[in-house]
C-alpha cells in the first residue's frame, strides 16, 4: 500500500511534538512490536531502513502517542455531548441495517453503548467482538440480553459470554469500527496489536469508523495488512472515504 507524499513530514511533526522521554518510549514500543507482533509473517515485513525499526511502525507509534494525549484531554462532559450527537446521526443507519457488529467503547472513545441497548430492545440482530484466546483473534458473538450476555474480556473490554452464539463475520450488513485516528481515505490507526485489522479483513458489510472530530487526521501511514473503512462518522458529519 503506497503512502501519499508528505506523510513523513506529518509524522515528523508528531515525533517532534513529543518530549524526549515520550520519543524514547515510542521507539521502545516499536521494538517491542517487532518481537511480539501477532501479525503473521506473510503480512508483516519490516523494512531495513534502520536496524530493528520500521519507519512506518515508528510513525504510527508517534501518532498513537499524540492521539492518546489529545483524547485524554476530552472532559467527560464533552464526551457525553459528542456521544449524544453522534448517536443521533447513527440512529438512521442502525434502523436500516440488518445484522450489526457493534463495539464496546473504551473510556476515552465515543459512547455508542446506548445505541446497542436500543437495538437489543428493538429485537435487532446485533453482536460484539469476542476474543478467542486460543487463536489470538476476534470473532463475533450475538448479544440478546445485556444483563446476562456481557462479561469482562481479556483486555478489560466488555464482550459477549462464550456461550453466546457466534455470528459469521461474513454475515454483517454494518460494522461499527473504533480507532485512535482515521483519515479521509478510510485508513485507520488502531492500538497496535492488529486484532481489529484481521477482524475487518474477514467482515462483510459497510464498515463505519466511529470517532471524535479531533481524531480525523490528514494522513495515516498504512501497511498492506491495514484494513480500511468505507465511512467515518463523527459528532458533526458523515464522511465517505475517498480511497
Residues 68 and 83 in one domain: no
Q: Are residues 118 and 171 in the same domain?
A: yes
Q: Are residues 62 and 91 in the same domain?
A: no
Contact 15, 26 (CB under 8 A): yes
Q: How confident is the model at residue 223 (pLDDT cuts 50, 70, 90)?
A: confident
Predicted pLDDT of residue 193: 84
Pairwise CA distance, residues 15 & 28, whole Å: 14
- The parent domain of residue 36 ranges over 7-72
Domain total in the chain? 2
Phi-psi bin for 17: left (phi > 0), alpha (psi -120 to 50), beta? alpha
pLDDT tens track for 23-80: 455 445 444 443 444 434 334 344 444 433 488 889 999 999 999 999 999 999 999 9
Give the model confidence (pLDDT) of 78-123 as tens digits: 999 999 999 999 999 999 999 999 999 999 999 999 999 999 999 9
Whole-number pLDDT of residue 35: 46
**Dist CA 1 CA 4 (whole Å):** 10
Q: Do 93 and 145 reside in the same domain of the chain?
A: yes
Indicate whether 92 and 212 sit together in one domain: yes
Of 71, 62, 69, which Cα lies nearest the Cα of 30?
62
Same domain, 107 and 44: no
Clarify whether residues 57 and 168 are in a common domain.
no
Q: Are 99 and 197 found together in one domain?
A: yes
In a domain, 104, yes or no: yes
User: Any idea which of 12-16, 171-175, 201-205, 235-239 has the lowest mean pLDDT?
Assistant: 12-16
Q: Do residues 156 and 225 both lie within one domain?
A: yes
CATH number at residue 152: 3.40.50.10420
Residue 1 lies in a domain: no
20-46: b (≥16 Cβ within 10 Å) or e: eeebeebbebbeebeeebebeeeebeb
pLDDT value of position 15: 46
Residues 159, 85, single domain; the answer is: yes
* pLDDT tens-digit map of 162-208: 999 999 999 999 999 999 999 999 999 999 888 999 999 999 999 99
Amino acid at each position: 500500500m503506497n503512502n501519499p507524499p508528505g506523510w513523513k513530514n506529518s509524522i515528523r511533526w508528531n515525533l517532534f511534538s513529543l518530549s524526549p522521554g515520550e520519543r524514547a518510549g515510542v521507539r521502545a514500543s516499536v521494538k517491542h512490536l517487532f518481537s511480539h507482533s501477532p501479525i503473521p509473517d506473510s503480512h508483516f515485513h519490516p523494512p531495513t531502513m534502520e536496524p530493528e525499526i520500521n519507519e512506518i511502525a515508528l510513525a504510527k507509534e508517534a501518532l498513537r502517542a499524540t492521539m492518546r494525549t489529545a483524547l485524554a484531554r476530552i472532559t467527560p462532559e464533552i464526551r457525553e455531548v459528542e456521544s449524544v450527537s453522534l448517536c443521533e446521526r447513527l440512529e438512521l443507519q442502525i434502523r436500516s441495517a440488518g445484522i450489526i457488529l457493534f463495539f464496546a467503547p473504551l473510556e476515552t472513545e465515543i459512547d455508542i453503548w446506548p445505541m446497542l441497548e436500543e437495538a437489543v430492545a428493538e429485537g435487532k440482530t446485533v453482536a460484539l467482538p469476542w476474543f478467542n484466546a486460543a487463536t489470538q483473534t476476534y470473532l463475533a458473538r450475538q448479544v440478546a440480553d445485556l444483563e446476562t450476555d456481557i462479561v469482562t474480556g481479556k483486555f478489560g473490554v466488555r464482550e459477549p459470554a462464550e456461550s453466546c452464539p457466534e455470528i459469521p463475520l461474513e454475515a454483517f450488513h454494518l460494522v461499527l469500527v473504533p480507532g485512535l485516528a482515521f483519515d479521509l481515505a478510510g485508513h485507520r490507526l488502531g492500538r497496535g496489536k492488529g486484532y481489529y485489522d484481521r477482524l475487518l479483513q474477514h467482515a462483510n458489510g459497510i464498515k463505519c469508523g466511529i470517532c471524535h472530530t479531533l481524531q480525523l487526521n490528514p494522513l495515516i501511514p498504512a501497511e498492506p495488512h491495514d484494513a480500511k473503512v468505507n465511512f467515518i462518522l463523527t459528532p458533526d458529519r458523515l464522511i465517505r472515504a475517498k480511497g
